[in-house]
Amino acid sequence: MTNLDFDRASGFANAALALLKRAQIPPFPVYYELFYTYATGSNAELNTQVNALLTRSGTISVEEASDLCEKFLKVSDMEEKLRAMSQVMSRKITDVNQAIDVAMVSANSYSGSLQQASGDLHAGGIDEDALKMLSSRLLKETRRMQDMNRRLEAELENSKDDISVLQRDLDEVRKESMLDPLTKIPNRKCFDEQLSADLERTHAQNATLSLLLFDIDSFKAFNDTYGHLTGDQVLRLVAHVLKANLKGRDMPARFGGEEFVAILPETELAGAVTVAENIRRSVQAKELLKRSTNEKLGRITLSVGVAQWRPGDTAAALIERADKCLYAAKGAGRNRVVSEKDLPDFSTTSTDVA
């Protein structure tokens, strides 16, 4: 590393630390990496979003920094993995193509030898010595062709094994890209894809489906009081309770920030409300402890909105109704479940139609 490179890297590091100090964000490695990347200017979209936050409020909260880390640093890791696998795949394809090219050249040469031998034999007048030489030459060419075929088979077999490993790695990367890195439940991208597939199936089979939308009550105040790491503990707790209370084809997901969602295929509104109440009570029943000090932090609560699919609903329309129910639960004092049946005006509200 030259002195110039060292000075540039030091400048980026100092800028990152200054931003962390300015925002009062703890200098954990993940936050340092975020602001170091911002200081280098290597990720234009990241810089645009950070600049927008700084322009709006003059600083960045820990929660906003966490969201940026999940969005940009994880994406960067995923792109790097895909890039590496793409390079390996490209090399394997090149190796296979080269092996096939060599085999084709050998096959053409062998074909030419056979044609020449055939011409000599049909021409007649070939003596015993010439026939022996011709047989020896054909035997030699045949053995060379057999060796080439064995090498090609080995190359193709090795490539088949390598491609199988790459396929497994790609599957793992895809699964990873569909999970929220903090809570280890499906993320928003996975939820969007699953909801689309479930709605298509529900419509085709004239079945039913319900959607639960959760919000952790007063989460920002909790985060500000006890810190980001304790806030992460709360998010993981809620995710754990969701997984424990959902069965079969039901799918929980982190919707964004402190919001979670659950898809309940083949579940009508009344059954969905029961599931939502069970989850709400389970979360409220758990007392939080700060791991570092065993300090009791009290309990957290959830507000929940519940909506049921209607013929003609798009995903957006269903989510919007669940969100209105969630908003009503918040407005009614939090820590409660509100469904469409609790809001009779929904029966006359038009919905988006595909």
One CATH from 3.30.70.270, 2.60.120.620, 3.40.50.10490, 3.40.50.300 for 188-348: 3.30.70.270
Residue extents of the structural domains in the chain: 3-60, 79-177, 188-348
**CA–CA distance, 202 with 205 (Å, rounded to integer):** 5
- Which phi and psi (to 5°) does residue 247 adopt? -130, 165
Interhelix angle for 269-284 vs 228-245, to 10°?
Answer: 140
Count, residues in the chain: 354
Tens of pLDDT, residue by residue over 286-320, are 888 776 677 788 889 999 999 999 999 999 999 99
Name the catalytic one among 258, 259, 295, 340. Answer: 258
258 is known as an active-site residue: yes
pTM (predicted TM-score): 0.57
Tens of pLDDT, residue by residue over 39-80, are 888 788 888 888 888 888 888 888 788 788 877 775 445 556
CA proximity to 30, closest of 80, 4, 65: 65
pLDDT at 272: 97
CA proximity to 215, closest of 157, 130, 283: 283
pLDDT at 220: 86
